[in-house]
Amino acid sequence: MTTTAVTKTESSAVTKNLKTLLADSYSLMGQTHLAHWNVEGPSFFQLHVAFQSQYEELFTAVDDVAERLRALDVFSPGGLAALAKLSSISEMESGPAPAKDFVAHLIDSHEILVANALSLREAAGASNDLETQDLAIGRIRVHQKTLWMLRSFLKNL
């Protein structure tokens, strides 16, 4: 008899990497929301709109990552305090800042997410969990594309 059920233990590398990816994605969503609210200056309209599309994408992504954990029969962490403990994304102060600071801060955060997703891709590959690996590859693609856009904004041409 074949079974389609897949399970992972709480301590498996795939589970740990999924939880880190979830926490950092959630944290980045919050930081992007903060940037959406507080950005000021001549680039306000374009950045306000760009940040909105980014945090909306992240909202869908955290759901996908959390539900992948559940598909592996592992409970997902949740709640601001629990996720903050797991996250390594630093927080910007709420106050006036040059628009470029918001962009630079988000670049640093997206780079952390790429590193997380790369670790998840490796761990999933090593345990032949191709579905989780597919999720990781998708996240890498999104964060790399966002990094290209954010870095392009900082260019002084």
Partner 1 sequence: MHTIKTGDWRRDAARIVEELFHATPSSSWDSLLELRQLLLSGSDWARALDVFLSCREHLEADHYLPFYRLRRLLAASLRLEAGLSGLDTGSMENLLKGRHKSLSDLKRRVRREWFEHSTEVCGKIALHVVEQTRV
List contacts with partner 1 (CB under 8 A): 93, 97-98, 100-101, 104-105, 107-108, 111, 151, 154, 156
Cβ-based nearer residue to partner 1, 70 or 141: 141
- For residue 34, give every residue at least 6 positions away whose Cβ sits within 8 Å of its Cβ, in sequence order, or none: 91, 92, 94
With beta carbons less than 8 A apart as the criterion, state whether 90 and 31 touch.
Answer: no
With beta carbons less than 8 A apart as the criterion, state whether 68 and 132 touch.
Answer: yes
Cβ-based nearer residue to partner 1, 41 or 98: 98
CA distances from 123 to 16, 20, 72, 126 (A): 10, 13, 14, 5
Q: How far is the CB of 138 from partner 1 (least distance, A)?
A: 20
Q: How far is the CB of 63 from partner 1 (least distance, A)?
A: 27
Written as six digits, the tokens of 145 are 């594309």
Q: How far is the CB of 10 from partner 1 (least distance, A)?
A: 27
Cβ-based nearer residue to partner 1, 73 or 111: 111
